[in-house]
Amino acid sequence: MAAWSSSPSLRHLLLLRPRLPLGPTCLAGSFSRRHIHSHSRRRLFSSASSSTLTHGDEASTHVDAGGVVDVNPPRGTRDFPPEDMRLRTWLFDQFREVSRLMAFEEVDFPVLESEALFIRKAGEEITQQLYNFEDKGGRRVVLRPEITPSLARLVIKQGKSVSLPLKWFTIGQCWRYERMTRGRRREHYQWNMDIFGVPKVLAEAELLQAIVLLFQRLGITSSDVGIRVSSRKVLQAVLNMYSIPEHLFTEVCIIVDKLGKLTREEIEKELMSTGLSSEAVEGIIEVLSLKSLSKLEEVLGSGVEAVADLKKLFSFAEQYGYADWICFDASVVRGLAYYTGIVFEAFDREGKLRAICGGGRYDRLLSTFGSEDIPACGFGFGDAVIVELLKEKGLLPDMSRQIDDIVFPLDEELEGPASSIASSLRKKGRAVDLVADKRLKWVFKHAERINASRLILVGNSEWERGMIRVKILSTREEFEVKAGDLE
């Protein structure tokens, strides 16, 4: 290829070719033309692929008679090509920044855990959704379906080597074999924040602020999202009113957590099957239908611990400034057996999506693993539903690729100097793509694709004078600069 100074046509191209803006990048779950073509191409590999999502479907990855592997990932799981990975990284950065603002420390655990950590009282839906198996050493293991038990295990392991309170967060992958719907997959990533060693509802107030901070950073408002709040102690107080045995508490919680998913008649039938009287069933459903804290106080009395906790939490919400985000809803009990007090879940006010996140207090979890209990509370916030909500609200950021510089040698013998220039810029913190063996027209198009800020051309005549040519792609400004002075 001719040197820059001896090729007027190249100079003409540089002057006339502006940097063109790129359209929004296709993000996870959207259907671009590229995705459609990709899907068609995948079907060429295997005619046995199916778009039907069912709970009992077969694994999608297989080898056909011709020995060609279906390139789709297993049903309910995802690949992350670069554009989707940029979105995931951006979202995780938001999780981490909120955690930093709240003075939480990051921890992590293995995705593969002991099965015993997740086998609890019968009736929990999660115990029916485990990816569990026996490893080659004969040990029963599981791909974790949630993170809190792993966290509890680490707290027990650390013992007295750490001082309370602990404020820890993690971002980890979870697995559940469940029926897939919008925002629900068989694997997802989850942001967890947990506090150990704070018995007062100030801990829950802090967690709720973290959730609200995250929403605000994403551009979501209290008119888009609300957070329903209640307490497991509400249900406990109702059971006490009807002298219902303590051992039925967890089973009743799991049933009433289906309120809104099953009809009232179905809920009543399931409750009756546990041995509860029709009067008790009626009383439970009536109380759990309350949406007013003052009416709850009328029914249970002001001396009940659940009422006092909730009133204190709503008082904190006023002080934190997020009272308009939260509302009392006695039907919120959460489906996991270990919750003991305040529980909450975020929802989109239009009702198009499943719960965005949820959590609560679990003061007695550690004793189920044979350790001494520590007051604790936390929440889990998945990646899938929040992305769906951001799409719904038009709040997804531009995830197009961005590179600072493209360095392009105009002749093969200049590849060495070009690599030296690229190395120098990278050491200065600039993102640099070194391109060789391409036509200049391709380099321009490549610059548009990756949103490069500058094009740096290394040509013979300039290099002989110790110079290189720089083009600012957004303004089409171009100039020569000494190679050692390039910043």
- Find out whether 339 is annotated in a ligand binding site: yes
pLDDT of residue 484: 87
Number of Cβ atoms within 10 Å of the Cβ of 305: 14
Alpha-carbon gap, residue 171 to 109, rounded angstroms: 10
* Mean pLDDT along residues 383-402: 93
* Mean pLDDT along residues 330-353: 90
* Mean pLDDT along residues 145-156: 93
- Find out whether 244 is annotated in a ligand binding site: no
Instruction: Report the share of the chain in percent with pLDDT over 70.
Output: 85
pLDDT of residue 2: 38
Alpha-carbon gap, residue 396 to 374, rounded angstroms: 39
pLDDT, tens digit, 9 for 90 and up, residues 196-216: 999 999 999 999 999 999 999
Residue 65 banded pLDDT, cuts 50, 70, 90: low
Asked if pLDDT for residue 4 goes beyond 50, the answer is no
Residue 62 banded pLDDT, cuts 50, 70, 90: low
What φ, ψ does residue 381 adopt, rounded to 5°? -135, 105
Asked if pLDDT for residue 376 goes beyond 80, the answer is yes
- Find out whether 33 is annotated in a ligand binding site: no
* Mean pLDDT along residues 442-459: 94
User: Between these two residues, 410 and 125, which has the higher pLDDT value?
Assistant: 410
Instruction: Please enumerate in sequence order all residues whose Cβ is within 8 A of that of 102, keeping only pairs 6 or more positions apart, or say none.
Output: 167, 193, 206, 209, 210, 213
Alpha-carbon gap, residue 104 to 337, rounded angstroms: 26
Residue among 367, 315, 381, 307 nearest 338 (CA): 367
Asked if pLDDT for residue 6 goes beyond 50, the answer is no
Task: Specify whether the CB–CB gap between 46 and 404 falls below 8 A.
Answer: no
Residue 409 banded pLDDT, cuts 50, 70, 90: very high
- Find out whether 402 is annotated in a ligand binding site: no
- Find out whether 224 is annotated in a ligand binding site: no
- Find out whether 79 is annotated in a ligand binding site: no
Alpha carbon separation from 415 to 5, 263, 419, 436 (Å, rounded): 17, 71, 6, 7
* Mean pLDDT along residues 13-19: 39
Domains annotated on the chain, with CATH: 82-393 (3.30.930.10), 403-482 (3.40.50.800)
Of 2-11, 84-93, 304-313, the range with the lowest mean pLDDT is 2-11
Q: What share of the chain is helix, strand, coil (3-state, %, to 5)?
A: 40, 20, 40
Alpha-carbon gap, residue 411 to 409, rounded angstroms: 5
* Mean pLDDT along residues 327-339: 88
* Mean pLDDT along residues 266-293: 89
Most confident by average pLDDT, 112-126, 172-186, 273-287: 273-287
Alpha carbon separation from 463 to 272, 322, 394, 459, 484 (Å, rounded): 87, 61, 48, 6, 11
Alpha-carbon gap, residue 483 to 165, rounded angstroms: 55
- Find out whether 127 is annotated in a ligand binding site: no
Task: Specify whether the CB–CB gap between 407 and 456 falls below 8 A.
Answer: yes
Chain centre distance of CA 31: 20
* Mean pLDDT along residues 359-379: 94
Alpha carbon separation from 462 to 412, 424, 432 (Å, rounded): 15, 18, 20
Alpha-carbon gap, residue 310 to 104, rounded angstroms: 24
Mean pLDDT across the chain: 85
Instruction: Please enumerate in sequence order all residues whose Cβ is within 8 A of that of 157, keeping only pairs 6 or more positions apart, or say none.
Output: none
Alpha-carbon gap, residue 116 to 141, rounded angstroms: 8
What φ, ψ does residue 151 adopt, rounded to 5°? -60, -45
In eight-state DSSP terms, residue 129 is S
Asked if pLDDT for residue 414 goes beyond 70, the answer is yes
- Tokens at 351, concatenated: 């009702």
Alpha-carbon gap, residue 332 to 341, rounded angstroms: 11
User: Between these two residues, 55 and 258, which has the higher pLDDT value?
Assistant: 258
Give the pairing type, strands 357-361 and 166-175.
Answer: unpaired
* Mean pLDDT along residues 28-56: 36
* Mean pLDDT along residues 150-171: 94
User: Between these two residues, 46 and 313, which has the higher pLDDT value?
Assistant: 313
Asked if pLDDT for residue 58 goes beyond 70, the answer is no
State the Cα angle at 424 between 419 and 427, rounded to 5°: 125
Residue 63 banded pLDDT, cuts 50, 70, 90: low
Asked if pLDDT for residue 8 goes beyond 50, the answer is no
Residue 54 banded pLDDT, cuts 50, 70, 90: very low
- Find out whether 147 is annotated in a ligand binding site: yes
pLDDT of residue 148: 92
Instruction: Please enumerate in sequence order all residues whose Cβ is within 8 A of that of 4, keeping only pairs 6 or more positions apart, or say none.
Output: 10, 11, 410, 457, 459, 460, 461, 462, 469
Q: How many residues are recorded in the chain?
A: 487
Residue 256: helix, strand or coil by DSSP?
helix
Termini Cα distance of the chain: 27
Alpha-carbon gap, residue 166 to 151, rounded angstroms: 11
pLDDT of residue 12: 40
- Tokens at 170, concatenated: 């993690």
* Mean pLDDT along residues 50-76: 61
In eight-state DSSP terms, residue 184 is B
pLDDT of residue 449: 92
Task: Specify whether the CB–CB gap between 29 and 83 falls below 8 A.
Answer: no
Task: Specify whether the CB–CB gap between 224 and 349 falls below 8 A.
Answer: yes
Q: Is 417 exposed, middle or buried (0-12, 13-18, 19+ CB in 10 A)?
A: middle
Residue 22 banded pLDDT, cuts 50, 70, 90: very low
- Find out whether 468 is annotated in a ligand binding site: no
Instruction: Report the share of the chain in percent with pLDDT over 90.
Output: 60
- Tokens at 78, concatenated: 């995802």
Alpha-carbon gap, residue 137 to 461, rounded angstroms: 68
